[in-house]
Chain A
Amino acid sequence: MNIIKGSARIIGDEVSTDIHCSSKYLPGKDATYIATVAFEQVAPGFAKAFNKGDVIVAGKHFGINSSREQAVHVMHRMGVSAIIATSFGRQFYRNAINNGLPVIECDISGIVAGDALEIDLVAGRIAVTAKNITRAVPPLPATVRTLLEAGGLIPFLQKHPDWNVGGEAA
């Protein structure tokens, strides 16, 4: 997954994934159901119109105050291929990577719904070619890329119990 291509889906600032993408306030509902209504209150129709492979483009503090790893499982179900945001809530950022979902901090100005995004995790670049937007982001180290490819931290450690991915240093 060194290069990810997907259509931009826009969501605002300060979105709590605990509130809008987990069963924390919908006890008893499973991930399959949550995936059909996720983010409804902050972006009506968001989940319904979401296509597999789309990229969530969020503002400040995406996943703020959120601790539930379940939110990432829901987003996998929705088919989210990556999230780019101005910034992430700290625990959400960890949970996303630990569960195999690429998250990239990046200036999102000028990106609108439907833009064809290209994310290069190795080179550290976000681009919307049609609009001549190219932005450099810190490239992900090989360890984190391998971890994402493996589908998350635990599957990664089953393959690489010493964290050694060879070649590039961790």
Chain B
Amino acid sequence: MGHTIAEKILGQHADGKPAKAGEIVVAGVDFAMIHDARAGNALKMIEKLGAKSLPHVKRTALVLDHYSPPPNMEAANTHVAMRAFADKHGSPLYDVGDGICHQVLPEGGHLTCGDLVVGTDTHSTTYGAFNAFGTGVEGTDVSAVMMTGKLWFRVPETIRIELKGPLQPGVWAKDVTLTMLGKLGAEGANYRALEYCGSGVSAMAIDDRMTLSNHAAELGAKAALLEADEKTFAWLKAHGAAAPKPVKADADAIYAQRIVIDTATLAPQVARQHNIDDVVAVPDVAGQKIHVALIGTCTNGRLDDIRQAAAILKGKKLAKGVRMIITPASRAIYLAAMREGLFEILTAAGASVEAAGCGTCVNITGHYIAADDQVVISSANRNFKGRLGNPKSEIWIGSAATVAASALTGVVTDARTVAGGDWRAAA
């Protein structure tokens, strides 16, 4: 009987043999991450325990991204404690403006194919794009990893999703994840791992693959794993990662469910206000008025997202009455976008650019609050009522292409219908 990628990676890190879905194993963790929304309590706990040594602390990154820059004194004080902890123990630290945890971990070369990685954030599934088992845990878990290098895991069942055919220009991985949310419902893959495969995945650039794994968190997935290929290896090498140990699923692996999506004909999708699984095709709601356009977050704040937005807005102006904010997912992306002249294009069009961080996603920094009855279109991952600070506003979720096309016209717009919306094909 064959095994899934999840069974193999967890098993290899436990007793060396593939594990079986449903089993609970104690597995060695290769790398861990704790961010500033969870570090306060965890670091206090570690100090209280007075652990004599923290053998795995150097393989635990501290990331100051949620409260970046800190909007209140509590967060500022947590940041000081995190910096002091990193100085004392030699943990890698990513400071304010360095970027979002799920972007800086891969960019920092902290993970490679076949690794087991945990982070105090549900979107830790992102690392699956690199064929690493990445999953979200709590502060207590990361404390345990720092102390012992190990953690217990329930081995998940897996849903295999085949993407048939490369996406059309103007259609992105976000449109695939939204399609999945429409199909399975929010938390519809609770506790399960996903494996994305097929020619649709092979054709995707790494930026888009990260969206695929990242947004699986809204499906409730424990991990969202892709097989590695030459693109994966080249990206990891360029970022200084350790030698990859790629893991493939067996042909006779047991899956809880198999799903096929015809990605070649897929249209752009949006999730309407308040529910991430209220998903409709963009052409079906084209014309819906929008007021605020946001590009950013660990789901879609990457260089390709910003390139796509700039391609649409080059030499143009935002529609009258629309505000647009771009928040790159990391400092490296920020620098690359500056070098490519993308911020000049976007700023000239009327958009604003903010320092890298999580702010676009949830009302932590307070920079994105919409007025009553206003509609936000965002490239983020969640749209709960009031998530951006005003329960009387609406948040719609789409790809960066959809957000930029909508910012240009002032209404929800299919990027395939505007100049530059086919940027990926032209590149």
Contacts from A to B (Cβ < 8 Å): 61, 64-65, 67, 69, 87-91, 93-95, 97-99, 138, 140-141, 143-144, 147, 152-154, 157-158, 161-163, 169-170
Contact = CB atoms under 8 A, between A and B. Distances in A.
Interface string B134-166: 001111110110011010101000000000000
B144 A153 contact: yes
Nearest to B137: A94
B22 interface: yes
B220 interface: yes
Contact of B138 (A89, A91, A143): A91
B190 A61 contact: yes
Given A61-B190, A67-B122, 5 more contacts: A87-B190, A91-B138, A95-B138, A98-B140, A143-B24
B17 to A, nearest CB: 12
B409 to A, nearest CB: 34
A164 to B, nearest CB: 10
A169 B15 contact: yes
A170 B26 contact: yes
Interface string B100-136: 0000000000000000000000100000000000001
Contacts of B187: 61, 64-65, 89
Interface in B177-215: 187, 190-191
A169 B16 CA distance: 13
A162 B138 CA distance: 20
- Classify chain B: how many residues form its interface, as a range: 20 to 34
Given A93-B154, A158-B49, A170-B26, A98 B138 contact: yes
Contact of A157 (B22, B147, B190): B147
A39 B7 CA distance: 36
Nearest to A61: B190
A7 B286 CA distance: 55
Which 5 A-B residue pairs are closest in the complex by CB-CB distance? A170-B26, A98-B140, A90-B191, A141-B24, A163-B26
Contacts of B148: 157, 161-163
Greatest chain B CB density within 10 A among A61, A64, A94, A138 is at A94
B152 A147 contact: yes
B138 A144 contact: no
Interface in B14-55: 14-15, 22-26, 45, 49
A170 B26 CA distance: 6
Contacts of B154: 93
Given A61-B190, A87-B191, A147-B152, A138 B22 contact: yes
